[in-house]
Amino acid sequence: MLNTLLNASVTSGWFVVAVFAIALALLGLTVVRRGERGWTTARWSAAVMVAATIGGAFGWLLCWLVSEVWDVFGVGLSLAVHSAVALGFAAIGVGLLAMTRRGAWHRLGAVGLVLSALLVAATLINIDFGRYATVQQALGLNSYSSALLPSRASSNTEQDTEAAQAQQLADWQPPANLPATGTVHQVTIPATTSHFAARPALVYLPPAALVANPPRLPVIIALSGQPGSPSDVFEGGKLQSQLDAAAAADRGLAPIVVVPDQLGDPANNPMCVDSALGNSASYLSVDVPNWIRSTLNVAQGRTHWAIAGFSQGATCAVQLGTGFNQLFGSFLAIAPELGPNIGDQATTVAKGFAGSVAAFDAAQPLAIMKRQTPFADTVGVFAIGASDQQFQAYTTTLRAGADAAGIATSLFTSPGTGHDWHTGAYGFAQGLAVLLPRLGLSPAASHG
């Protein structure tokens, strides 16, 4: 029973139907007048309409302030989110009105209505944003393995050429006991050089990495948005199921994907630079790669390494993919910004660049591309939601700069989606179709 509840979809199916049914039932029970003194039917009905209108207007105003005035998330909230919040607050307004009625049962029902209204609004917002798929994910009860990672194979030498590693992948034959799917492990990546206060990272190991004498596999470092956490990439981005599908189509082979924490805290944005906000760039470009090489059975050479991300993580992917081109031969940017920022430019320069406008300018991806033109043997993949107009402009500008710098680019547009994890999942699926052959794996192994 508990497993059924935890695995229930929060975007469709019986759980969503139950949430709405309970809310409607409580609304009906709450607004029905049972002849209390001082309330005529007409007066009570008018009061309910006024309470719903005031509540809905307050919810819409709150969304507008958060989205357009305070710019809390750095991106505008969709019409669906505005509507969901307004609907929720309308029901809350009715619930608060109902609390003035006599009788413990009336007040208890009103409290239930308020709570169910919050749950309905949260459900609608999640359906629009696409972050959580199940109750378990929404409650933060992840099932990631804490078991020790498989020992790094010693038979593969660091001196293998990239061509030899590619041939090894081409020749590899899976054993009879090959697992059907990969596993995701939670690990701690030491910040030896950067001293960055990162949260635990996640590592996806494909089936081929879980057997004796595994081949050396390519690497993708993937990053969440902000606010966010490493689990977003696998849950909202649906990356694990996509990688498992790729592995199933190619003898258990897929990239090893490492998802470090580039934020330190969901509310923080160190911008993937080294600053007073934290040495995020050194963590991602030094500590994380060093840990990967020393711990995991991975291929060497930049053509076997890629960096990817969504939103703030996509901005980081472009920054690091171009700024550390000796490390990454490819990058995937899903809905990136033009460059690192934490609001207006003055705040960004003061907090992230010690007041230096020159340092801020130099850290912009377009400036990095111009400095390092021409890029040799580099692939850049961009993806964007069709409804994400603000970030479409950023993406178009970045792609043009990459093209001018000699980077081989491609762009994918997710139909009907905005700045959300529906776009994130689409972008990872399309990006894998480009990156897999680039990383030395089968081009037929990608499934959207």
Which two structure tokens, joined as six digits, stand for 319? 């920054």
pLDDT at residue 364 tops 50: yes
- Of residues 314 and 104, the one with the higher pLDDT is 314
125 and 204 fall within a common domain = no
- Percent above pLDDT 90 for the chain: 79
Please give the Cα distance from 181 to 178 (Å, whole number): 9
Asked whether residue 148 is assigned to any structural domain, the reply reads no
In a domain, residue 147? The reply is no
Q: Is residue 182 a contact partner of residue 243, using CB atoms and an 8 Å limit?
A: yes
Residue 293: what pLDDT? 96
In DSSP notation, 48-65 reads: HHHHHHHHHHHHHHHHHI
The reply to whether 73 and 31 lie within a common domain is yes
**How many structural domains comprise the chain?**
2
pLDDT of 157 strictly over 80 = no
What gap in Å lies between CA 216 and CA 159, rounded to an integer? 12
pLDDT at 448 over 50: no
155 in any annotated domain = no
Residues 67 and 199 in one domain: no
CA dist., res. 315 & res. 320, Å (int): 9
Question: 69: burial class by Cβ within 10 Å (0-12, 13-18, 19+)?
Answer: exposed
CA-wise closest residue to 435 among 218, 207, 203 = 218
Return the number of other C-beta atoms located less than 10 Å from residue 225's C-beta.
Answer: 30
What are the tokens at 399?
A: 């792609």
pLDDT digits (tens, 9 = 90+) for 183-210: 999 999 999 999 999 999 999 999 999 9
Residue 154 lies in a domain: no
> What number is the average pLDDT over the span 217-245?
97
pLDDT at site 33: 63
Beta-sheet strands, E only, within 188-281: 201-205, 219-223, 256-259, 274-275, 278-279
Indicate whether 297 and 369 sit together in one domain. Answer: yes
158, pLDDT greater than 60 = no
User: Would you say residue 370 has pLDDT above 70?
Assistant: yes
pLDDT for the residue numbered 446: 42
Q: From 422, 418, 413, 333, select the one nearest 381 (Cα to Cα).
A: 333
31-88 pLDDT per residue, tens:
876 556 667 788 888 999 999 999 999 999 999 999 888 888 888 889 999 999 999 9
Beta-bridge partners for 183: 205
Q: What CATH number corresponds to the domain at position 207?
A: 3.40.50.1820
- pLDDT reported for residue 347: 94
Identify the pLDDT of residue 445: 43
What is the residue-averaged pLDDT of the chain? 92
Q: Are residues 233 and 274 in the same domain?
A: yes
pLDDT digits (tens, 9 = 90+) for 119-140: 999 999 999 999 999 999 999 8
Where is the domain boundary, 105, 122, 138? 138
Q: Is residue 257 a part of any domain in this protein?
A: yes
Reported as a pLDDT band with limits 50, 70 and 90, residue 159 is: low
Same structural domain, 220 and 266: yes
**pLDDT average, residue stretch 409-418:** 97
Domain that holds residue 24: 7-138
Q: Quick one: pLDDT at residue 31?
A: 81
pLDDT band at residue 430, thresholds of 50, 70 and 90?
very high
Verify that 178 and 238 share a domain, yes or no. yes
* Same domain assignment for residues 389 and 428: yes
Q: Answer whether residue 157 is part of any domain.
A: no
| 240 plus 204 within the same structural domain | yes
Q: How far is CA 342 from CA 117, 304, 350, 447, in A?
A: 33, 32, 10, 35
pLDDT at 383 over 80: yes
CA nearest to 402, candidates 321, 292, 324, 307 = 321
Rounded to 10 degrees, the C-alpha dihedral 271/272/276/282 comes to: 180
In a shared domain, residues 261 and 133: no
Residues pairing with 145 in the sheet: 185
Asked, for residue 150, whether it belongs to a domain, the answer is no
Per cent of the chain over pLDDT 70 is 95
Q: 342 in a domain, yes or no?
A: yes
CB 337 within 8 A of CB 394: yes
Give residue 442's Cα distance to chain centre. 26
Cα 241 off chain centre by:
15
- pLDDT-derived band at 17 (thresholds 50, 70, 90) equals very high
130 with 169, same domain: the answer is no
Statement to judge: residues 172 and 310 lie in one domain: yes
